[in-house]
A and B are shown apart, each in its own frame.
Chain A
């Protein structure tokens, strides 16, 4: 069966510090991968998606970036965090291809920027 992991589960970082959140998927190959952010009391905002290694699409211009160094690894980074980066970050995967549009979500990382 497939599983998706995110770490860390929680993170408190000062403004201006770097960020690295990691997401890995097990039990599947060549998945589509997604990063979402959920601000407090808000809906989900798609940040990045990837349909393959080193193929990253950005949905919202910001100080965040994403990388996919391996097939089942998706990393969200920032060089300098802003207060507005606080939120709940969710990684998701999907099998890819036509007729496979269900996304499966990880447990999330709660980021607080102080």
Chain B
């Protein structure tokens, strides 16, 4: 079946620190992989995605590479800002007609000045 395992939080970093949030997946077939971000009190926003092995998704300084050999899609950012404080969700699509997404449990990031 399909599942996503995400690094447990919360994560607290100082501004300009390096960020890694680990995500591994189990899937049948060749899913697309996503990172979504949720700011306090809001819905989820797509942060980045990758659709096939070795693809790198990037946005707003965040990056993640689709690693089929390790079934991973780790999120990284070289220098975090206070405005990056949010909950980050890793997800995969089941490639069915309904295009369902399977989400990890989310990782709360707090960046302190």
Q: Check if A49 is an interface residue, CB within 8 A of chain B.
A: yes
Q: CA–CA, A92 to B90, complex, Å? A: 16
Q: Check if B103 is an interface residue, CB within 8 A of chain A.
A: yes
| CB within 8 Å of B: which A84-103 residues | 90, 92, 94, 96-103
Contacting pair A57 B98 (CB below 8 A): yes
Q: CA–CA, A42 to B42, complex, Å? A: 15
- CB-based A-B contact count at 8 angstroms: 56
Contacting pair B101 A32 (CB below 8 A): no
Q: Check if B99 is an interface residue, CB within 8 A of chain A.
A: yes
Contacting pair B97 A44 (CB below 8 A): no
Contacting pair A96 B46 (CB below 8 A): no
Q: Check if A46 is an interface residue, CB within 8 A of chain B.
A: yes
The segment from A13-21, A73-81, A105-113 that touches chain B is A105-113
Interface of B is mostly: loop
Interface size class of B (residues with CB under 8 A): 20 to 34
Cβ-defined partner of B43 (8 Å) among A43, A96, A100, A107: A107
Q: CA–CA, A97 to B41, complex, Å? A: 31
List residues of chain A with CB within 8 A of the CB of B22.
none
List residues of chain B with CB within 8 A of the CB of A6.
43
Q: Check if B25 is an interface residue, CB within 8 A of chain A.
A: no
Cβ-defined partner of B93 (8 Å) among A43, A44, A101, A110: A101
What are 11 contact pairs spanning A and B, CB under 8 A? A43-B103, A44-B44, A92-B44, A94-B99, A96-B97, A101-B93, A105-B45, A106-B43, A107-B43, A108-B42, A110-B41
Task: Mark A residues whose CB is within 8 Å of B.
Answer: 6, 32, 34, 42-44, 46, 49, 51, 57, 90, 92, 94, 96-108, 110
